[in-house]
Structure 1
Amino acid sequence: MQMIQTVFLTVLVFFVIVTIHEWGHYFFAKRAGILVREFAIGFGPKVISFKRGETRYTLRLIPAGGFVRMAGEDPEIVEVQPGQTVAVRLKDGVVQRIYLDRLDERKDVLRGEVVSIDLERNLHIDLDVEGEVEKYQVHPTAHIIARSTETQIAPIDRQFGSKTVGQRALAIFAGPMMNFILAFILFLLYVQMAGVRENVQIGALLPDTPAVEAKMQVGDIITAVNGEAVGTDYTRMINIIAKHPNKPIVIDFIRDGNPQSLTITPVPNEQGEGKIGVQAAFGTRAPTLGETFTGGVTLMKEMTVLIMDGLKMLVTLQVELDDLGGPVRTAEITSQIARQGIVQLTSWTATLSLYLGIFNLLPVPALDGSRLLFIGLEAIRRKPISPNKESFVHFIGFALLMLLMLVVTYNDIVRLIRGE
C-alpha cells in the first residue's frame, strides 16, 4: 500500500507542475482569441485523447513535459489547393465541412473541383460543379476532414501570429508565471504545515558520547552554549561546540520548564572538531499570517538563488554528466521525498515548479525564453522575424534538448541498475 501511495504521489507531482504550466499558456491564448488546437501532457504517442470544444486534450506516453499547440505557430498540416476535388457540406448556404477523401461515401454533400479558396481572410471557396462555378462562404469554425481526422480551420484573427506583441508575449510567459504562482502558494502551505521554529531541542542522543555521560535527555531545549545564545540556530550551536575539542563548555537548557546548566567536554572527530553526540530537533508553533507570507517569500528567494547558481554551473560547464538528472532521477528523488510525508513533498513540489518556471525562461531554442526573445526582437525591429527561420531554430533546439534528455535518462537508468 505504501508503494502504491508513493507512486501515485510521484506521478501527481509531475502532473500538477506540468499541467499548471501548460494551462497558463492555454488560458491566456484563449483569452487573446487564439485557436488552441491541442493541450498535451507528455510527448510521443497518444495514450488518452478526447476533444472538448475547439481543443483536443491528450495524455502522451513520454512524461517529459507538455505543450499547447496554437493555430498559426506551425504550418497547418492540411491544405486545400485549386484543382483539387472536394466535397462540402452546407448549412444555410454556408460551408461547415470540407471533405478531402472518400468522397463517394459522403452523404448530403456538394462535390466539385476547387477553383479558388481562402480559409484565412475572406473565408470562401469557389467550386466548379459540373461546369458551373459556384461561390460559397466558409464558416469561421468549419472543419476539414481527411483520413478520418477533423481539423478546424484557423482564420487569420484566430492565429497566434496575428495577435499583438503583448498578447503573444503574455501567452508565452504565462506558463512560467503559473509555475511561479504555484511555487509560492506551495511554499506558503509548507510554512503553515511545518510551523515556525521556536527553539533547538535534543532530538536524539548517540550512545557512548559526552551528552549521554552528562545525562542530557531527548527534549531538552538548548538556550545557550558557553554563554552565547542559540535561539533557533542549530548551526550556531554546532559551530560553537566544534571550536572546543577536549575543552569544557557550559550548556544552558530548559527541561520540564526549569532552566538548568551543565558542563560537557566535547571529543574531537576525525577533522578535529568538537562533538558531544546529539542530533537536533526543533520546537515549532503555528505561524501568524505575516510569518507565513514572509516565510514563503524567504523560501522563494533562497530557492531561486540556489537554482540560478546551479544553472550558472551548467552553462559554464562546471558539472559532469553524473551531476545531471533527467525525469528518471527526478522521479526517484520525488518518490524518496514522498515517503517522508506530505510536508516535505509540498516543499519539494514547490521547488520543482519554481525550477520548471526558471528553466523555461532560459533563452534556449524551443523553450519559452527563446520564444519571448523572438517576440522581443520583433518589438524592437517593428516587424516579425521570418516564421520559417524561427521554426527552424526552435526545431533544432528541441531536437538537441531531446537528445540531451535521452543521454541523461540513459545515464540515470544505468546508474539505477548499478545501484549507485
Structure 2
Amino acid sequence: MQHIITILIAILIFGLIIGIHEFGHFIVAKLNHIQVNQFAIGMGPKLIHFQKGETEYSLRLFPIGGFCAMEGEDQSSDNPNAFEKKAVWRRMTVVLAGAFMNLVLGFLLIAILLCTAQKVPSLTIAKFAETTNSAGNTVTASESERSGLQIGDKIVAIDGSHIFSTTDLIYKLQTTDTDTYDITVKRDGSRVTIENVTFHNDNTGGLLDFSVEGKSKNPVNVITYAAKDTVATAKLIWMSLIELVSGKYSLQDLSGPVGTVSVIEQAASTGENLLERVQSVMNLTIFITVNVGVFNLLPIPGLDGSRFVFLLIEAIRRKPISKNREAMVHFIGMAALFLLMILVTVQDIGRFFKN
C-alpha cells in the first residue's frame, strides 16, 4: 500500500512539474498569437485527449515528459500564426517560458512552506551552541564563536561566494572540502571578513554550531526570502552540474525517474506527523522543479537552452539557420539524452533490486 501511495505522489509531482513547464510555453505562445497544435502532459499512448479550437489536449501514459507542439516550430509553414513567422524576440520568450514557470513554481512552493512556519529565516546569528563545563558554568560549544563570529553578525559570503539563504549556507558548509572558511559578515553596518573560521558543535559533532534569527511572518519577508531561496536553490543545482562536469560526481551519482520515486518515498516518510511529511515532499518538489528549470536552460541540443541559442544566432546574423540542420542537432541531442536516461534508469532499477 505504501508503494502505491508513493507512486501516486510521484505521478502527481511529475505531472505538476511537467504541466507547469509546458503551460509556460503554451500560454506565452498564445499571448504571441502562435498556433499551438498539440499540448500534451506525459509521453507515449494517449489516455485522455480532446480537441478545443486549434489545439489537441492530451494526457499520456508515461509521466516522464510532455510537449507543446506549435505550427511552424520544426518545419516550414505558410500560416501567419506559425512559430517561425513571429519576431525573434517573441520566439525567445516562448522558448524560455517553460523553464521560467518551473522557477516560479519553486518560488510559490517556498512561499507556501514559509507560511506554515512560525518565523521567516534570516542569515543573522541569534545564538551559538552552549554547554556546561565541569565547574557548572555555561560556556560556548561553538567553534565558530571561538573563531571570531559574534551574535548579530549577518552572514553575507563564504570564501567569496555570496550567500542568499540558509539553503545556500548549509550547502556551502556541507560540500566544501576544507576545514576553515573566510566568512564575510555585516556587523554594526559595516562588512567585516573573519578569516580561518571553523564550524563545529561540541554537543553534536556537526558543523551547524549556531542558530539564526527568525523574522516576523509578513508578505514582504515571505516574498523576499522565497525569492532569495529560489536563487539559492538554482545556484546549488548549477554548482552541482559544474561539479558533475568537473568529475567530482560520476554517472553513478545520477538518478532518473525510478530513483526519484525512491527519494520521494523517503521524503514522504520523513517527519513525525502529516504536516512534516507534506513539508518534506514539498521541499523535494521545490528541488526537482528548480532543477528542471535550470537544466532546460543549458545549451544542450534538444533542450530549451539550445533552441534559445539558435534564436540568438538568428538575431545576430539576421537570418535563421537551416531548419534541417537545427532539427538534426536537436535530434542528436535528444537521442543522447534518452540514452542517458535509459542508462540511469537501468542503474536505478539495479539499485532497487539490490536494496
What TM-score results when the alignment is normalised by the length of structure 1? 0.61
Give the percent of matched residue pairs that are identical in Structure 1 and Structure 2.
37
Rate the CA distance shift 1:278–1:165 in 2: closer, same or farther, 3 A. Answer: closer
Rate the CA distance shift 1:165–1:200 in 2: closer, same or farther, 3 A. Answer: same
Whether the 8 Å contact between 1:44 and 1:60 is mirrored in structure 2 is: yes
Whether the 8 Å contact between 2:36 and 2:68 is mirrored in structure 1 is: yes
Rate the CA distance shift 1:64–1:321 in 2: closer, same or farther, 3 A. Answer: same
Which residue identity is paired with 2:283? S
Shift of 1:163: 0.7
Rate the CA distance shift 1:214–1:65 in 2: closer, same or farther, 3 A. Answer: farther
Shift of 1:389: 0.7
Matching of residues 265-276 of structure 1 within 5 Å: 275-276=202-203
Show the counterpart of 2:246.
316
Rate the CA distance shift 1:41–1:200 in 2: closer, same or farther, 3 A. Answer: farther
Rate the CA distance shift 1:397–1:274 in 2: closer, same or farther, 3 A. Answer: closer
The number of residues matched between the two structures is 293
Instruction: State yes or no: 1:183 paired with 2:113.
Output: no
User: Of Structure 1 and Structure 2, which has the larger fraction of its residues in helix?
Assistant: 2
Show the counterpart of 2:265.
335
- The 1-side partners of 2:242 and 2:94 are apart by 27
Q: Deviations over 1:21-59 (max 9, x none)?
A: 100101111222222111112222323322222111222
Show the counterpart of 1:373.
309
Kindly indicate whether structure 1 or structure 2 has the higher relative contact order, using CA contacts under 8 Å at least 6 residues apart: 2
Shift of 1:410: 0.6
- The 1-side partners of 2:46 and 2:35 are apart by 21
Rate the CA distance shift 1:398–1:3 in 2: closer, same or farther, 3 A. Answer: closer
User: Of Structure 1 and Structure 2, which has the larger fraction of its residues in strand?
Assistant: 1
Rate the CA distance shift 1:75–1:380 in 2: closer, same or farther, 3 A. Answer: closer
Show the counterpart of 1:348.
284
Rate the CA distance shift 1:405–1:2 in 2: closer, same or farther, 3 A. Answer: closer
- The 1-side partners of 2:8 and 2:140 are apart by 44
- The 2-side partners of 1:274 and 1:380 are apart by 55
Bigger CA radius of gyration:
1
Which residue identity is paired with 1:293? I
Shift of 1:278: 9.3
Show the counterpart of 2:7.
7
Which residue identity is paired with 1:289? P
Rate the CA distance shift 1:349–1:231 in 2: closer, same or farther, 3 A. Answer: farther
Show the counterpart of 1:412.
348
Rate the CA distance shift 1:364–1:324 in 2: closer, same or farther, 3 A. Answer: same
Matching of residues 134-213 of structure 1 within 5 Å: 155-196=78-119
Whether the 8 Å contact between 2:14 and 2:64 is mirrored in structure 1 is: no
Whether the 8 Å contact between 2:25 and 2:95 is mirrored in structure 1 is: yes
Which residue identity is paired with 1:56? E
- The 2-side partners of 1:26 and 1:214 are apart by 69
Show the counterpart of 1:48.
48
Query: Secondary structure in 1 aligned to 2:74?
Result: coil
Structure 1: segments with no counterpart, 5+ residues: 77-119, 121-154, 203-209, 216-221, 240-272
Structure 2: segments with no counterpart, 5+ residues: 156-165, 174-199, 271-276
Whether the 8 Å contact between 2:6 and 2:261 is mirrored in structure 1 is: no
Show the counterpart of 1:151.
none
Rate the CA distance shift 1:412–1:5 in 2: closer, same or farther, 3 A. Answer: closer
Query: Secondary structure in 2 aligned to 1:385?
Result: coil
Show the counterpart of 1:67.
67
Whether the 8 Å contact between 1:223 and 1:230 is mirrored in structure 2 is: no
Query: Secondary structure in 1 aligned to 2:49?
Result: strand
Query: Secondary structure in 2 aligned to 1:412?
Result: helix
Whether the 8 Å contact between 2:141 and 2:202 is mirrored in structure 1 is: no
Whether the 8 Å contact between 2:110 and 2:226 is mirrored in structure 1 is: yes
Shift of 1:6: 3.6
- The 2-side partners of 1:9 and 1:389 are apart by 40
- The 2-side partners of 1:313 and 1:285 are apart by 34
- The 2-side partners of 1:335 and 1:214 are apart by 47
Matching of residues 16-165 of structure 1 within 5 Å: 16-75=16-75, 155-165=78-88
Show the counterpart of 2:223.
293
- The 2-side partners of 1:314 and 1:290 are apart by 36
Which residue identity is paired with 2:265? S
Show the counterpart of 2:334.
398
Matching of residues 273-288 of structure 1 within 5 Å: 275-276=202-203, 287-288=217-218
Shift of 1:15: 0.9
Query: Secondary structure in 1 aligned to 2:80?
Result: helix
Which residue identity is paired with 1:392? M
Whether the 8 Å contact between 1:200 and 1:223 is mirrored in structure 2 is: no
Which residue identity is paired with 2:26? Y
What TM-score results when the alignment is normalised by the length of structure 2? 0.72
